[in-house]
Amino acid sequence: MAHCYGLDYGSTTSMLYKYEDGKPMEISNMRSAVRITTSGEITCGNKALDGGDGRVVESPKRRFIDNHDNATNCVGCEKMIVHTMTAMMKSQQENLPGCHLTLTVPNGYTAEDYIAMHGIVKQALRNTIHEACDGVNVHMLPEPVAAALHYVHCCMGRDNFTNKHFIVCDIGGGTTDLSIVTCSKEGRKLSFKVEKGQQSDKKLGGNDFTRRLATKLGQNYDRCSIEMRGAIEIIKIDLSSLENSSQIMNLQCDRKTFESCIGNELDRLGRLMESLKEKSDIIIDNQSVVLRVGGSCRIPAIRELLMAKFNDAHQTVDAETGNCFYSVAMGASIYSAYCAGVLSNEYGSISIENATPHEFSYRKANYTWTTIVPQNSKDGTYQSEVLRLDGAVTFEDGTYSPGNIMLKEEGAEPMEWPMDKRKRFDLKDRKVEDIRVQLTIKIQNSLLYSCQITDLGTKEINTWIIGTI
């Protein structure tokens, strides 16, 4: 049976879990940080924060989101993320070929984000297992769905239920995402739907709380040593648990002071919660469940805020969800196990009933377009009509390129996936105008999962699987 992994690449901490012996098991847990020394050496994770020369880049994920309009910086951030993922997967090098790997992504990611992250995972796998990564099955899963799947699988047993609403409050190191996920279970069929009205703040997270605390303690966070930053982080963690006061090195703070210095951030968070309630059509009642995701949800003031804003809903505790800090990575590993057939006795199907906001079209070489999957189509398999390849590009080795897949998203520039050399067809002494092809496109989790192109003359089939590297 294939190995099943779940990868949650976070702004502050990244986790890799493996579904094994009937439950998610932690494989790697490391800081999302990269150090580049003056000699060009690269270290990742906790080692990057241990000191040394060079430059440390923390939270590359947040920088990646912030730098979409700056191509140079965005590419630099992508490289940092690749280094971190490669380091996380290195210990599993022998198990990765043929495995299922689910990467979680924020619910608000655009099509451009998905494509970029898919390329990042592909490069990290190539760094780890080289050409053997051609058989790795990569799935992408929205983070709130992963958290809800973990809770359903680990905490709700096998009882059937309909329209169970989960309020997912994900406050990570760099970003905050609030969503409502509706889940139903009938027999072995499990379905999820991310409701409209989700709220995000890409500049609000645990790092902001740490910086506020540093200022309160008389420190300039950007100029602090690695050791001083670590001390401030420990104080924040202490004050996020049951500690009323904490002292590290020459720094001391009590919980009341800490919560007062993050008052502005708490106000922003409260407004996000109100917006979520106002813009969704879901009625929160005592059957609803609040899922606290991300380390910052441990802060007592945030827990109290959640209880005040969603007072009718059941408030989960860490022990009940297995641990709010790891639930997304655990849910991702569970989804991989489902995709690999490991959980076939429990789940005949797991569907995410989100209508895709994208339109998938096929561009022939003469720049004419044929829409295969209309905008707002549901997950499923779609087949084109029989298509002529007017103007197809031919090559000296007797092959031709069947064209490109185009993704169109409202409010964004169209994006293309070009067919590479391995996906060319044999021309077999035919004229281009005599070629006929048919496309079959599969949409999974609102994304292009695979594209199968069939040359109707030679019966040659090329399957281009986005979800398989």
135 in Cβ contact with 167 (< 8 Å)? no
What is the tens place of the pLDDT at every residue in 12-40?
Answer: 888 999 999 999 999 998 887 787 777 77
- Determine the Cα–Cα distance for residues 229 and 237; give it in Å rounded to an integer: 12
CATH tag, 358-465: 2.60.34.10
266 in Cβ contact with 205 (< 8 Å)? no
- Determine the Cα–Cα distance for residues 458 and 329; give it in Å rounded to an integer: 44
The fraction of the chain above a pLDDT of 70, given in percent, is 79
Span 391-419, average pLDDT: 69
What is the tens place of the pLDDT at every residue in 383-398?
Answer: 888 888 766 778 888 8
What is the tens place of the pLDDT at every residue in 426-440?
Answer: 888 888 888 888 888
**pLDDT beyond 50 at 72:** no
What is the tens place of the pLDDT at every residue in 183-221?
Answer: 999 888 898 988 888 898 888 888 888 889 899 999 988
455 in Cβ contact with 466 (< 8 Å)? no
Residues with Cβ < 8 Å from 335, sequence gap 6 or more?
6, 102, 139, 141, 146, 149, 350
pLDDT at 62: 59
pLDDT at 331: 94
**pLDDT beyond 50 at 372:** yes
- Determine the Cα–Cα distance for residues 216 and 90; give it in Å rounded to an integer: 40
- Determine the Cα–Cα distance for residues 388 and 185; give it in Å rounded to an integer: 44
Which segment of 226-230, 356-360, 386-390, 419-423 scores lowest on mean pLDDT? Answer: 419-423
365 in Cβ contact with 391 (< 8 Å)? yes
> Class of the 4-143 domain?
alpha beta
* pTM passes above 0.85: no
**pLDDT beyond 70 at 309:** yes
- Determine the Cα–Cα distance for residues 327 and 291; give it in Å rounded to an integer: 9
Q: How many CA within 13 A on the CB side of residue 124?
A: 26
Distance set, CA 196 to CA 108, 268, 275, 354 (Å): 11, 20, 11, 10
What is the tens place of the pLDDT at every residue in 213-257?
Answer: 899 999 988 888 777 888 888 888 888 765 677 777 788 888 888
User: According to the 3-state scheme, what is the secondary structure of the chain?
Assistant: CCCEEEEEECCCEEEEEEEECCEEEEEEEEECEEEECCCCCEEEHHHHHCCCCCEEEECHHHHHHHCCCCHHHHHHHHHHHHHHHHHHHHHHCCCCCCCEEEEEECCCCCHHHHHHHHHHHHHHHHHHHHHHHHHCEEEEEEHHHHHHHHHHHHHCCCCCEEEEEEEEEEECCCCEEEEEEEEEEECCEEEEEECCCCEEECCCCHHHHHHHHHHHCCCCHHHCCHHHHHHHHHHHHHHCCCCCEEEECCEEEEHHHHHHHCHHHHHHHHHHHHHHHHHCCCCCCCCCEEEEECHHHHCHHHHHHHHHHCCCCEECCHHHHCCCCCHHHHHHHHHHHHHCCCCCCCCCEEEECCCCCEEEEEECCCCCEEEEECCCCCCEEEECCCEECCCCEECCCCEEECCEEEEEECCCCCEEEECCHHHCEECCCCCHHHCEEEEEEEEECCEEEEEEEEECCCCEEEEEECCEC
- The ranges assigned to domains in the chain are 4-143, 358-465
- Determine the Cα–Cα distance for residues 435 and 455; give it in Å rounded to an integer: 7
- Determine the Cα–Cα distance for residues 389 and 383; give it in Å rounded to an integer: 16
pLDDT at 70: 43
Cα three-residue angle 120-122-124, rounded to 5 degrees = 70
Give residue 142's pLDDT band: very low, low, confident or very high (50, 70, 90).
Answer: confident
- Taking Cα atoms as reference points, which of 272, 237, 218 lies closest to residue 12? 237
- Determine the Cα–Cα distance for residues 115 and 451; give it in Å rounded to an integer: 15
**pLDDT beyond 70 at 338:** yes
Q: At residue 169, what is the residue type?
A: C
- Torsion angle, CA of 194/67/329/178, rounded to 10 degrees? -40
> Which two tokens mark 423?
């996906």
